[in-house]
Structure 1
Amino acid sequence: MEEKKKGKSHIGFKIFILILLGILLFFLKEENQKKFIQFIDRTTLMSLEPMIEDSIFIGEDIEQVFAYEGGIILWKENQISKLSLDGSKEWEREFVFEETGISVGKTYIYIYEKPSGIIHFLDNKGETIHRVDIETSIMNLVENIDNILVHFKGTNGEGICILDMEGNIVDSSIVSNRNILTFSVDDEGDLTYLVSSLDLGKDAIKSHVEVFKKGEQSQLDKEFKDEIIFYSNFIHRDKILIMTDKSIYMLKNEDILWEREFQLIKDIYIDRTKIYVLYGNTLETISRDGITQEKISFTEEYKKILPFNGYLIVYGDEYIMGLNRGEELFKYKSDKDVLKLIGGTENLILVYSDKIELMKFNKKI
């Protein structure tokens, strides 16, 4: 009897080992891993119920609205103010400049006089922490990965000036006889930045992408004939993603690793592993190898992509939709045209012509 029991236990153990080996072999395949993850996601996916928590009247003459340090920045006619999320005014300040620009980053608010090149770095209390004069006219300014990129126009043409967070000039470059379109900084290693520009020649329109390293001349100058660049960014240290009016390209040095043609591109967003392209009535997810992973078609019109709290939001004038791995989390229809959607706080901020609304979400399974 004992021998029979031992035999049965050995058989049971062997069956267990075989089942375990089968499971391990199943999950060795990447395709099966993805299918299992998708199954778990679908069975545990929550939907969200959007609710308007508060509505704040801002007037019809507000020019720009930003989220900053848990509050809301309003800009109109050389006047800047910060509101708390309950609508109360925290501070207000006026700048008497000839022609004023504003840019809001994670660290500072930047107010600049375009013709003169004077820049004020404002903190969360509206106080000037640094005042910088680059002594040439400013066309645009962006805070990007602990640097400030200033698009300027001087006597020798347009260029990019890189400032550190104290306002010191770190590097600069001139793009001769061309108009600058986009610019960004690599977040890895030594200071490296790219600039795309437009050459309006007599024979044809040409876009260029140039890569600069601190203290050095251009490392790369790639030409795109009969195309206009709308987006450019570093993907890895040696790869660059380019979006034109016709196609999306992945570059490595001078080589095009892959190219994808799209019609009516509206917006693009890149996370750590994927590229999301909104075009026509479709949101397409592609890998960094250029392979389509998912397509979602909409019956409503959506114009922009916004990352928010770990998922994606697409929105247009009327509709706002939240998506998680291709599954709809929520859909909201506004009774007025939405001019802009802002994340960066616990709430989603809906900007209208005369008011802003704070949207929160209740989870439901």
Structure 2
Amino acid sequence: MLTSLLFLSLAAWVDARLYIHGDHFYYNGQRVFFSGMNQAWVSYGYDWGNDQYQHRRNKFQSVINAVKNNGGNSIRVWVHVEGQTSPQFDHTGHVIGTDASHSLINELNEYLQYARNHQIFIFLCLWNGADRGNTNARLEGLIKDTNKLHSYINHALVPMVKALKDQPALAGWDIINEMEGVINPNLHSREPCFDTTFLRSSGAGWKGHIYSAQELLRFINWQVAAIRQTDPQALVTAGSWNPKSNTGLNGMKNLYSDHCLITAGHNNAGTLNFYSTHTYDDKNSHQYDSLSPFKHDKNQYGLKKPLIIAEFNQVRGGHNTIGELFTYAYYHGYAGAWSWHANADGSDTDSLATQEAGLRSLRGKNDQTNGGIIHLTI
């Protein structure tokens, strides 16, 4: 009898998955805080699929090692980006596979297994709305044309989810990074979820006023629904560029709410499990805006789901050190904090050493009342 109980206990441990209760993540009954960094890319848009990972493996693995060695537990990684090399498109802009060489799923499996071996959770971000490169027409087709979006879901997304859903290190999916980069902030609509005039003069639409809120939210809704219908335990988000579009605080609007996503896409399964937002100070004043997470407790936003500060750094950190920012997130109700970004390219990016110092500021924390456990056994 004792042997059977021990076996069942071990099986429960091995099969454990992250879950959400209230405003927080839990794993094996303990509240979790995600302390980590973004490794958005090694080569922007050219990391996954078509046998590319074998040329990026060392850099991806080195960041897993760095996060582990400095006391962190999670990494956010970009997959398709703007459709440069995955998924595989035909000449009409419809998706016909994950990638031309059919290597993407195996590559992600290998990466996720390495992450598990080092006790690091991975969040996969599918698309990027913060930039517009020469392949962006592929992504535009998926956002504007529902037949093309269906082709992506059927021929790439669902096969990916089916193949990866049992990987213990796969913590969650992020549908699109900063859709606000390409949103039209000047559209009036009788439907409040599609009226974006509240974002006028907010900075949204910095890469062009390309899409309506309705188009972008449908794009998110359908993909979330497909993921959650394929893997009911999957945890899914979409990363807002600023809380301005992710909260009703101070006259703003939560475009990512269940109501807005369902109104746009009409699929009740396509709602987010948790929220994630980004924050940087003003380049001139070096001050955070009034809605920044680093000026609020999480509960002030009125969101009834976990919220991760999914991008921030010390370079544009409002005169705070990276350790102060990580510590603020830990003790003010947030579910995690990921610095930007491990590639450390560009003037607005912290060095990898700075980000490692931020992780060390929370090393070994396990305050089940105010923050959560960071060291995890996956």
When normalised by structure 2's length, the TM-score is 0.29
Higher relative contact order (CA 8 A, sep 6+): 2
Q: Which has more helix, going by share of residues?
A: 2
Larger Cα-atom Rg: 1
When normalised by structure 1's length, the TM-score is 0.30
Q: Which has more strand, going by share of residues?
A: 1
